[in-house]
């Protein structure tokens, strides 16, 4: 495990060079990896592991869209595609990739199959970090590990197929076998991670919940809405407001920031843009800092977790969620976005 110095902060990281795929295969050569859940992360991780030569089976409720998707992806009912309990019984590594709410509901069904020496794998620290709230308390004789790709399962798969990788964090919560670290790193390499950086279950879920509610989704949508609405208020057309708010950012600037960094972006734009960005960035930072402080406190206290548990477990949650998503989808800004995307040149 390499140690990298980030401005005085030392981090443990694992690269493909020091832990190649051949080593990962050797570590997991006698393992059967059972992917429980074929929704957000399941397909990408399952397909990447299978393509990398690992023994993978999928556990999913029959007669569901996810079961059908797994079958279309080449997992064969009765051979590599099973019901959740049967897959859990067959797996030596159980990748628990159901949604947080489903993990809570299914846990009593899964726990009996966590026999000594198995590994229980997560891609999100929620269930374990808030175990007093979720009831997900693993037996003491199994490894409890985590690999959390820093992106969606779709992105994980697309980058894998492009010969690249999506960076992931990894953590060991419980090492019952003495092999937990080798197992988790091998799985991280197997799913196609670019590199792995060490964390804890708690730090993963704190950063993840903050990020989702912050710059990854919540904050960015709020900023989009504020700027778009201000431009529209002053007579700018929907197309102009959307292009200046979203399209230029996502299509032009963010790919360059991803490639070279924001410092490069500042150095390679017009002097007018440089001056304005430097003058206003601190105003935005100082304006939102109290909101992020409140957000992190809500995550750390468990308030955000409890709200998720309470709302996601309601019988009409999906109906209410669809109403909220419909409002977002049918807003003028994202309807304008749909039109703008349709006008992009076809490759």
Active-site residue flag, 236: no
* Catalytic residue of the set 50, 118, 124, 232: 124
Q: In what order do the strands lie in the sheet with 143-149?
A: 2-6, 9-15, 193-198, 166-174, 143-149, 119-122, 93-96, 33-36, 56-59, 81-82
H-helix or E-strand spanning residue 50: helix 42-51
Distance CA 156, CA 43 (A): 10
DSSP code at position 199: -
Q: What is the DSSP track for 133-187?
A: HH-----TTSEEEEEEESS-HHHHHHHHHTT--EEEEEEEEE-SSS-HHHHHHHH
Distance CA 220, CA 48 (A): 30
Give alpha helix (H) positions in 52-125.
Answer: 65-72, 84-90, 100-110
- Pairing type for strands 93-96 and 33-36 reads parallel
Distance CA 220, CA 223 (A): 5
Residue tagged 């026999």 (tokens):
115
Residues serving a catalytic function are 124
């Amino acid at each position: 495990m390499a140690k990298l110095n980030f401005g005085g902060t030392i981090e443990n990281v694992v690269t493909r060079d020091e832990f190649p795929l051949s080593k990962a295969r050797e570590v997991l050569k006698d393992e059967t990896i059972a992917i429980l859940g074929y929704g957000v992360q399941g397909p990408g991780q399952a397909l990447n592991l299978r393509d990398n030569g690992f023994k993978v089976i999928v556990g999913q409720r029959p007669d569901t869209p996810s079961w059908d998707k797994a079958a279309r992806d080449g997992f064969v009912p009765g051979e590599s595609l099973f019901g959740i309990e049967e897959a859990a019984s067959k797996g030596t590594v159980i990748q628990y990739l159901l949604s947080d709410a489903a993990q809570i509901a299914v846990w009593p069904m899964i726990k009996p199959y966590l026999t000594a020496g198995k590994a229980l794998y997560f891609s999100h620290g929620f269930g374990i970090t808030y175990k007093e709230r979720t009831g997900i308390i693993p037996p003491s004789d199994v490894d409890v590990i985590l690999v959390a790709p820093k992106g969606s399962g779709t992105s994980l798969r697309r980058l894998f197929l492009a010969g690249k990788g999506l960076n992931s964090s990894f953590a060991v919560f419980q090492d019952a076998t003495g092999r937990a670290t080798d197992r988790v790193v091998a799985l991280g390499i197997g799913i196609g991670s670019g590199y792995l950086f060490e964390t804890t279950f708690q730090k993963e879920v704190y950063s993840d919940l903050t990020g989702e509610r912050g710059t990854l989704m919540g904050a960015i949508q709020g900023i989009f809405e504020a700027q778009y609405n201000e431009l529209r208020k002053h007579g700018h057309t929907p197309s102009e407001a959307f292009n200046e708010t979203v399209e230029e950012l996502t299509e032009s600037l963010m790919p360059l920031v991803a490639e070279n960094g924001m410092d490069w972006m500042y150095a390679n734009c017009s002097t007018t843009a440089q001056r304005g960005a430097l003058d206003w960035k601190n105003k935005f930072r100082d304006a939102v800092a109290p909101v992020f402080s409140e957000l992190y406190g809500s995550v750390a206290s468990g308030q955000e977790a409890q709200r998720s548990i309470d709302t996601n477990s309601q019988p009409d949650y999906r109906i209410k969620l669809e109403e909220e998503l419909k409002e977002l989808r049918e807003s003028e800004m994202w309807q304008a976005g749909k039109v703008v995307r349709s006008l992009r040149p076809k490759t």
